[in-house]
């Protein structure tokens, strides 16, 4: 048995004639902190993108099924060129989107990489990078900052740092139109960086958010602008819930504002974080909005009650969050931590429902769920609602 700084444990066997060792089996995780995680499918798997340039699929049930998605013979090419494998891999993923509906037909994951003007597709069924590289046709080459896959799984829409938005077909990799606001002098979608994209459940409209605080609704098929909304503050991140059509935005880094995408009006406003909000997500039923911040807090907001119902404080700030479709497990990543933390939703196992505002709970000595452990006791890590 051997272990190393790359967050791996390897078992070697000495069965060759010359007495040399060969790798028998191993368990590994990210060698650098992950920066973006999302539950995939029915909640038994987690897609994770790390600063080590690795894109991984982790199984919540069985570690033997966890693996890194292949970037096509990285080890062989690195050995041939006599360089490190990290130098051959793609740059770290900054954001990605996935859809399960067309997983058996073609690529169903799209990733955007740091300072990269192209987006890459992945075929999750084969755990390998796809054959298409999506390059927007904008006259100004800028890095891609946002992506979303349509509800049907046939299209992906990309947004760049220069404000360009373009639609691609996932099966062929061809462009299927650009979203242009004719009122802008630059002939693009936004006057500035595109920070988020969202598509409704019927492919009727596309929602885009610009860093300057403008939110626009586009006709998905004709690519024409339907309506626009000015938040009044810079928007840094968005989250969209397809069933109820609610759009959550991070305005001014510390304020959460919810909009109804049908009427394009503000419906909720949540304040409480004292530092930059790092990530946010909806629960599957759309009743909760969960947000994390650099102030070390994780807050749960009840949308129907329009108030905070729970919060907890951790020693290390949370960088990314994702809630399982069954709403039983919350996954988090933290600053300078290579592991993924799993928290059990205790409200699913209690009879009473707490309706009063709860104080912030300090979680000291937080136990990291290392991704190469064979078994985890999820009941050791709980968040209370």
Q: Tokens 């970037």 belong to which residue?
A: 71
- Res 370: pLDDT: 38
Euclidean distance between CA atoms 152 and 229, whole angstroms = 26
> Which tokens in the block code for residue 126?
């084969």
Architecture of the domain defined by 32-367: 7 Propeller (2.130)
Euclidean distance between CA atoms 317 and 295, whole angstroms = 7
Domain boundaries, the chain: 32-367
Asked if residue 258 lies in contact with residue 248, where contact means CB atoms within 8 angstroms, the answer is: yes
* Bridge partners (DSSP) listed for residue 46: 39, 58
**Long-range contacts, stretch 244-251, CB < 8 angstroms, 24+ apart:** 244/286, 245/200, 246/282, 246/286, 246/303, 247/198, 247/207, 247/215, 248/280, 248/282, 248/289, 249/196, 249/209, 249/215, 250/277, 250/280, 251/213
pLDDT in tens, 330-346: 999 999 999 999 999 98
Euclidean distance between CA atoms 215 and 226, whole angstroms = 11
Label residues 316-329 b or e (16+ Cβ within 10 Å = b): ebbbbbbbbeebbb
- Res 357: pLDDT: 52
| 354 pLDDT above the threshold of 90 | no
Which of the four pLDDT bands, split at 50, 70 and 90, describes residue 356? low
Which of the four pLDDT bands, split at 50, 70 and 90, describes residue 70? very high
Which of the four pLDDT bands, split at 50, 70 and 90, describes residue 253? confident
| 375 pLDDT above the threshold of 80 | no
Euclidean distance between CA atoms 377 and 1, whole angstroms = 24
- Burial of residue 156 (number of CB atoms within 10 Å: 0-12, 13-18, 19+): buried
DSSP string, 26-86: EEE--SS-EEEEEEETTTTEEEEEETTS-EEEEESS-GGG-EEPB-SSHHHHHHHHTS-HH
């Amino acid at each position: 048995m051997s272990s190393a700084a790359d967050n791996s444990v390897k078992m070697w066997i000495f069965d060759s004639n010359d007495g040399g060792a060969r790798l028998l089996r191993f368990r590994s995780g990210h060698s650098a902190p992950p920066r973006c995680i999302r539950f995939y499918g029915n909640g038994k798997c987690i897609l994770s993108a790390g600063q080590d340039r690795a894109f991984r699929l982790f199984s919540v049930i069985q570690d033997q099924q966890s693996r890194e998605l292949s970037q096509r013979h990285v080890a062989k090419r690195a050995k041939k060129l006599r360089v490190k494998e990290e130098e051959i891999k793609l740059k770290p993923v900054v954001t990605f989107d996935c859809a399960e509906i067309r997983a058996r037909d073609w690529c169903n994951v799209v990733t955007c990489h740091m300072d990269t003007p192209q987006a890459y597709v992945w075929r999750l069924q084969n755990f390998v990078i796809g054959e298409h590289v999506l390059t927007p046709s904008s006259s100004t080459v800028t890095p891609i900052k946002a992506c979303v896959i349509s509800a049907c799984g046939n299209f992906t829409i990309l947004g760049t740092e220069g404000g360009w938005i373009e639609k691609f077909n996932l099966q062929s990799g061809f462009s299927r139109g650009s979203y242009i606001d004719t009122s802008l002098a630059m002939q693009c979608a936004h006057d500035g960086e595109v920070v988020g994209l969202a598509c409704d459940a019927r492919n009727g409209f596309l929602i885009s958010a610009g860093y300057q605080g403008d939110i626009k609704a586009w006709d998905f098929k004709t690519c024409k602008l339907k309506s626009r909304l000015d938040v009044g503050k810079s928007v840094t991140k968005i989250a969209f819930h397809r069933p109820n059509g609610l759009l959550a935005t991070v305005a001014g880094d510390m304020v959460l504002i919810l909009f109804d995408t049908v009427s394009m009006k503000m419906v909720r406003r949540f304040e409480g974080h004292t530092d930059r909000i790092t990530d946010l997500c909806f629960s599957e039923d759309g009743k909760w909005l969960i947000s994390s911040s650099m102030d070390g807090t994780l807050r749960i907001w009840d949308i129907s009650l329009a108030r905070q119902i729970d919060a907890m404080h951790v020693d290390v700030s949370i960088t990314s969050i994702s809630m399982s479709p069954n709403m039983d497990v919350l996954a988090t990543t933290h600053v300078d931590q290579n592991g993924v933390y799993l928290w059990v939703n205790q409200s699913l196992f209690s009879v009473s429902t707490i309706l009063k505002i709860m104080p912030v709970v300090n979680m000291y000595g937080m136990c990291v769920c290392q991704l190469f452990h064979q078994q985890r006791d999820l009941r050791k890590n709980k968040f209370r609602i």
